[in-house]
Amino acid sequence: MASEGINKFIKLWLCIIISLCYCYSIGRTKKTPKGIVRLLCLLPVMCLFLAIPLNISSIHFAGTTAFSISWLANFKLLLFAFGKGPLSSPSLSLPRFIAIACFPIKIQQHPSHLNVYQTPTNYAIKVLLFALLLSVYDYTHHIHPTILLVLYCFHVYFCLEIILVTVATLTRALLGLELEKQFNEPYLSTSLQDFWGKRWNLMATSVLRPTAYEPVRNTAARFIGRKRALLPAVFGTFVVSGIMHELIFYYLGRVWPTWEVMRFFLLHGVCVTAEIVLKNAFADKWPLPREVSTPLTVGFVMITGNWLFFPPLLRCGAKERALEEYAVLGAFIKNVTTLTFSSFKSH
């Protein structure tokens, strides 16, 4: 059954790659100029990308594909239709077009010798902590529910960062691209604005800026001025993020949304806009020291996440399914290691 799921997953990704080859050809022909014409040509692919995660049963494969394809790739293709975004560069080769479209990566515009991928020790520690966290789940009946919810916060963070960094590192090795990092130590955030805008899942942030934030701000600026338009633009970005997270949660659980996740992002949208107003009014007069602002920020994210974000995941059995998949992966690695060692020993 596991092999059948993997074979199906591979076939779906072949379908994705073929679809992106079509999108690449659409952008290179003069018969489909940027604008509505190109958008109409890309719409079948975008609809296909929305349907693909429904055919994946693995919670990790479904979640990764939903984030990469149904959200990021579709938003990038939307920008591409109008000659904008990372896919619109005329110098992009087909392999790079496919990689940038279907993987959560962003090319670094000003490469630095000190980037995230040259600090493997940092990620090795996080992998070890993640493995330790998984082992703790064997004793959940001895752990207070509140502590468990805190562990779930770390689980999501470690899991996302490990997956995204692995994908980015492989892409970098294969294509020789200098890539921007996806996370920037979110546990050091000094404000919600800092957390969401500069530290947490930066790939999603970079896609939401041109597809949600900038259009809302440009539209609102016509009525209330560009400075005030910042607030509805920020809130509108959280609305779009909430909708996309509800879609991803549907792919994971296949149950009708209860809109708790949407309320989580609406709450944070309100709080971030209020934070911006308060910063403009009082930050210069009464700046909070990092020793105070960081625990407040991280604590607020954890408390609201445990209240609104995690309950839908737990109700659909996401934790149990994830642990089952980790067990299968562990058994597979153990078998491969045993066979490799036996083969080496026989020679």
Amino acid 115: pLDDT = 46
Cβ(177)–Cβ(107) under 8 Å? yes
- The residue among 93, 91, 82, 85 whose CA lies nearest residue 20 is 93
- Phi, psi dihedrals of residue 111, rounded to the nearest 5°: -55, 140
Which of 103, 98, 100 has its CA nearest to residue 86?
100
Give one word for 40, left, alpha or beta, with left for phi > 0 and alpha for psi -120 to 50.
Answer: alpha
pTM above 0.85, yes or no: yes
Residues of the chain whose pLDDT is less than 50? 1, 113-118
pLDDT score of 4: 60
Alpha-carbon distance 143 to 139, whole Å? 7
- pLDDT at position 111: 55
pLDDT tens figures, 178-224: 777 888 899 999 999 999 999 999 989 999 999 999 999 999 999 99
Helix extents (H) in 200-317: 202-208, 214-224, 226-253, 260-278, 290-304, 310-315
**Please, are residues 190 and 196 in contact by the beta-carbon 8 Å criterion?**
no
Provide the β-strand partners of residue 107: 179
**Tokens 């349907």 belong to residue:** 51
Look at residue 283 in the predicted model and tell me its pLDDT. 64
Q: Distance between CA 65 and CA 59 in Å, rounded?
A: 10
Q: Where are the domains of the chain?
A: 1-103, 109-183, 186-316
106 exposure class (CB count in 10 Å sphere: 0-12, 13-18, 19+): buried
Provide CB contacts within 8 A for 49, sequence distance 6+: 16, 19, 69, 70, 73, 74, 77
Cβ neighbours of residue 6 closer than 8 Å, sequence gap 6 or more: none
- Compute CA 333 distance to the chain's CA centroid, rounded to the nearest angstrom: 26
